[in-house]
Amino acid sequence: MARSEAYEVVVVGGGIGGCFAAAAAAAEGADVVQLERKPAEEGGFIACGDAIKSPTDPKKYPGPIDMNAIVSDEAVLADGNINQIEWWDEELGVRKVLPYDKHSNVIDRYEFGQRLLEQTGDLGVTQHYDTVVNEIVQNGTVQGVRAIRKGEPVRYDADVVIDAAGAQSIIQDLVDFDSLDAPVDVTFEKPHYTHFGSAYREIVETKEPVEYANSIVGKPLEEMGYIWYFPRTERIINIGLGFQMNKPPIALADRLKQDIQSRPEYEGAIVHERFNKKNKLGAALALRRPLDSMVAPGYLTAGCAAGTTHAITGKGIRGAALSGYSAGRAAAEAVADGDVSEESLWQHNHYLYVEHGEGTKLAARDAYNVAAGSIEIPILRAIAAVLPEEEIREVVGTETSIDDFSSKLAIVTGALKNAISHYRAGSFSHLGVSVGELYAALSGFKTTREYVNRYEDHYWEYPESREEYFEWLSERNRLDEEFYDALELDAQHRKY
Ligand SMILES: Cc1cc2nc3c(=O)[nH]c(=O)nc-3n(C[C@H](O)[C@H](O)[C@H](O)COP(=O)(O)OP(=O)(O)OC[C@H]3O[C@@H](n4cnc5c(N)ncnc54)[C@H](O)[C@@H]3O)c2cc1C
């Protein structure tokens, strides 16, 4: 018979979402266990571009985890001098430079992950490594999990389970949502595989310093996705690429090799000894809006499992942190109140979409992902080439707001001016993009932008309680249909 242990909160996952969730729940006084399938010394190893913006801003990284202490550790902060994003489409002669107001950083993801786990443990969380969750215990509410710990079966009973098991979380498949207590029958929304991205990275050391040590650089791929160069120092560069899985697969490692072989600064570059073993990594990530609801009776989800990654850039560290914090806090409060119903856990949804608001901004920007997924890559590259920098920043960020009339006019004028100069220079000729196609695509972009604003307005109205949720959801679904119709999307390109 399996050994059994009892806690108030079980957190599945030792990544960013799991640490922020477990730490927040423990700081609120809950008795928490965190389960991670990897051994302790491998916690934090994950494929990542390692770019993180304003890590010490408490609004971006709320809760008891002390991010100041983490990033002031030299082993964690690889490069704290990133002050711009660059988009290069070298074939088209395009180099867009988007300044970052606040400093961004490239971190050592492994050291960062280890410090997060250490702090989480110091906050009183019990941590079980080498523990693979493979079953759910439920009876009206989710009441725990079963796992294999170091080869032995263990049952973990709990009032609440937090699923922070990442993009490929199996927890959502294991929970039978339809048989949980709920006043109205609703099937828990599960991400579809076409919403996922696949990515791969390596960390290499160049012979000479690169010129772009203060920039995180993106370049187009032949499928929807991008190649990146994120410098950790002037000579140690996190390079990688990712694409969305609704497109034909790309042999990621080969494609990356082909790219760096074409660049003089990577001639003779080596995969540094220190980064050799565990940093040539691939992983999946969810490129979609956050789940419509991230709670069910006795269950909350956070991080990549909840879809809190930016659907265009794939950046998800911040979303995982703040959704983890929110899930942990909501779980502990529900446990303290002795009520783990969906209604009681609802504050997790409301925090993300309204009180904090990052969820709303992420959800709205998924419209860009939908639109981009329906456009041929040469046209997409032409659009990126002609859009003014401020507009690209709006698409890849979640903070800027350039919605007044004169700014919109400046965008249109800027895009037209850029289009004229590209056509005059003949830079679009080998892409085979005609003026008519670019014009139509820009008009689709303008439509998308309007819907991004409309989605944002709607998500700001995300209901405070579950009772009003179904009306809100049906209006959101109506907005989806209206948007898809406005873009004249065929069934294949409608994202549900
Ligand atoms: C190649 C790549 C590059 C990226 N670059 C960036 C970037 O530059 N900046 C950025 O902000 N974001 C980036 N992201 C996204 C970011 O890494 C993720 O959004 C973030 O790691 C999500 O954190 P998480 O805690 O939700 O999930 P994860 O970090 O995936 O953590 C989930 C944890 O759960 C554990 N687990 C899973 N299943 C089980 C189970 N059954 N039992 C026990 N444990 C389990 C896993 O081992 C893992 O440790 C990138 C992603 C990829 C793939």
pLDDT at residue 407, as a whole number: 63
Residue nearest to atom 21 of ligand 1 (CA): 317
251 exposure class (CB count in 10 Å sphere: 0-12, 13-18, 19+): exposed
Note the pTM of the prediction, 2 decimals. Answer: 0.94
**Residue whose CB lies within 8 A of the most ligand 1 atoms, among 10, 41, 46, for a mutation test:** 46
Where in the chain are all domains bearing CATH 3.50.50.60? Answer: 3-76+109-193+287-358
Residue of 279, 304, 398 to mutate, ligand 1, most atoms within 8 A of C-beta: 304
State in Å: Cα 166 to ligand 1 middle.
5
Does the Cβ of 381 fall within 6 Å of ligand 1? no
pLDDT of residue 405: 59
CA–centroid distance, residue 287 to ligand 1 (Å): 13
Query: Strands, DSSP E only, in 184-263?
Result: 196-205, 215-220, 225-231, 236-244
Ligand 1 pocket check for 136: Cβ under 6 Å: no
| CATH architecture group of domain 78-101+194-285 | 2-Layer Sandwich (3.30)
Cβ 197 under 6 angstroms from ligand 1: no
Assess whether the C-beta atom of 49 lies below 6 angstroms from ligand 1.
yes
161: left (phi over 0), alpha (psi -120 to 50) or beta: beta
pLDDT at 281 (0 to 100): 75
Q: Where in the chain is the domain with CATH 3.30.9.10?
A: 78-101+194-285
pLDDT of the residue at 404: 58
Does the beta carbon of 164 lie inside 6 Å of ligand 1?
A: yes
Residue 454's nearest CA partner among 403, 398, 387 is 403
Fold of 3-76+109-193+287-358: FAD/NAD(P)-binding domain (3.50.50)
Distance 170 CA to ligand 1 centre (A): 14
Residue 14 Cβ inside 6 Å of ligand 1? The answer reads yes
What is the CA(17)–ligand 1 centre distance, in A?
A: 8
| Ligand 1, atom 51: closest residue by C-alpha | 48
Mutation choice for ligand 1 from 53, 317, 325, 398, CB with most ligand atoms inside 8 A: 317
Three-class SS state of 132: strand
Residue 15 Cα to ligand 1 midpoint, Å, equals: 6
pLDDT at 336: 98
How many A from CA of 106 to the centre of ligand 1? 16
Ligand 1 mean position, distance from CA 20 (Å):
13
- Phi/psi of residue 113, nearest 5 degrees: -65, -40
pLDDT in tens, the chain (496 residues): 789 999 999 999 999 999 999 999 999 999 999 999 999 999 888 888 888 888 999 999 999 999 999 989 988 887 777 888 899 999 888 999 988 766 678 888 889 999 999 999 999 999 999 999 999 999 999 999 999 999 999 999 999 999 999 998 999 999 999 899 876 555 667 777 778 888 998 889 999 999 999 999 999 988 888 999 999 889 999 999 988 877 777 788 899 999 999 999 999 988 866 655 566 778 888 889 999 999 999 999 999 999 999 999 899 999 999 999 999 999 999 999 999 999 999 999 999 999 999 999 999 999 999 999 899 999 999 999 988 888 888 888 876 555 555 666 667 778 888 888 888 888 887 788 888 898 899 899 989 999 999 999 999 999 999 889 999 999 999 999 999 999 999 888 887 7
In 3-state terms the chain splits into helix, strand, coil percentages (rounded to 5) of 40, 25, 35
What does the alpha-carbon distance between residue 258 and residue 241 come to, in Å, rounded to a whole number? Answer: 12
Atom of ligand 1 lying closest to residue 171 CA: 41
What is the per-residue pLDDT for 425?
80
Closest CA to ligand 1's atom 35: 13
Rg (CA), the chain: 23
**224 Cβ below 6 A of ligand 1:** no
Distance 233 CA to ligand 1 centre (A): 23
Three-class DSSP labels, 358-418: HHHHHHHHHHHHHHHHCCCHHHHHHHHHHCCHHHHHHHHCCCCCCCCHHHHHHHHHHHHHH
Distance CA(185)–CA(82), nearest Å, equals: 48
Q: Which atom of ligand 1 is nearest to the CA of 201?
A: 1
Q: Which residues contact 276 (CB under 8 A, 6 or more apart)?
A: none
At residue 454, the 3 state secondary structure works out as: helix
Nearest-CA residue for ligand 1 atom 37 is 165
Is the CB of 458 within 6 Å of ligand 1? no
Which residue's CA is the nearest one to ligand 1's atom 3? Answer: 48
- Helices and strands, counts by H and E, the chain: 15, 19
Cα of 115 from ligand 1 centre, angstroms:
16
Please give the number of the atom of ligand 1 that sits closest to the Cα of 46: 29
Q: Is 290 in the pocket of ligand 1 (CB under 6 A)?
A: no
